Amino acid sequence: MTVDSSPDARLEPPQRSSLGTAAARNLATTTKSAPQMQEITSRWLLRMLPWVEAKGGAYRVNRRLTYTVGDGRVDFVQDGAEVRVIPRELGELALLRGFDDVEALTALAGRCVQHDFEVGETLVRRGAPADQLHLIAHGRIGRVSVGAYGDDVALDVLADGDRFGESALLDADAQWEYTATAETSGTLLTLSRADFTAVLSTAQSLRDHIEEFRSLPRQRQNHRGEAEIAMSAGHTGEHALPGAFVDYELKPREYELSVAQTILRIHTRVTDLYNGPMNQAEEQLRLTIEALRERQEHELVNNREFGLLHNADFKQRLQPHSGPPTPDDMDELLCRRRGSKFFLAHPKTIAAIGREFNARGLYPDHVDLGGQQVPAWRGVPILPCNKIPITKEKTSSILCMRTGESNQGVIGLHQTGLPDEYEPGLSVRFMGLDEKAITSYLVSTYYSAAILVPDAVGVLENVQIARWPR
Tell me if residue 465 falls in helix, strand or coil: coil
Q: What is the pLDDT of residue 322?
A: 84
Least confident interval from 66-75, 163-172, 259-268, 376-385: 66-75
Q: Quick check: helix, strand or coil at residue 52?
A: strand
Taking residues 249-267, report their average pLDDT.
91
Q: What are phi and psi of 17, to 5 degrees?
A: -115, 5
Give yes or no for a contact between 259 and 444, defined as CB atoms under 8 angstroms apart: yes
pLDDT of 347 > 60? The answer is yes
Q: Check whether 269 has a pLDDT greater than 70.
A: yes
For 302-334, how does the pLDDT look when each residue is reduced to its tens digit (9 = 90+)? 999 999 998 888 788 888 988 899 999 999 999
Which stretch of 77-81, 105-109, 190-194, 374-378 has the lowest confidence by average pLDDT? 77-81
Which sign does the torsion angle of CA 324, 330, 331, 333 carry? Answer: positive
For residues 237-256, give the mean pLDDT: 73
Q: Would you say 18 and 353 are in contact if contact means Cβ atoms under 8 Å apart? A: no
Q: Are 297 and 258 in contact (CB under 8 A)?
A: no
The model's pTM is 0.77
Residues counted in the chain: 470
**Does residue 151 carry a pLDDT above 60?**
yes
Confidence of residue 83 (pLDDT cuts 50, 70, 90): confident
Amino acid at 349: T
pLDDT per position as a tens digit, 442-455:
999 999 999 999 89
d(CA 331, CA 398): 12
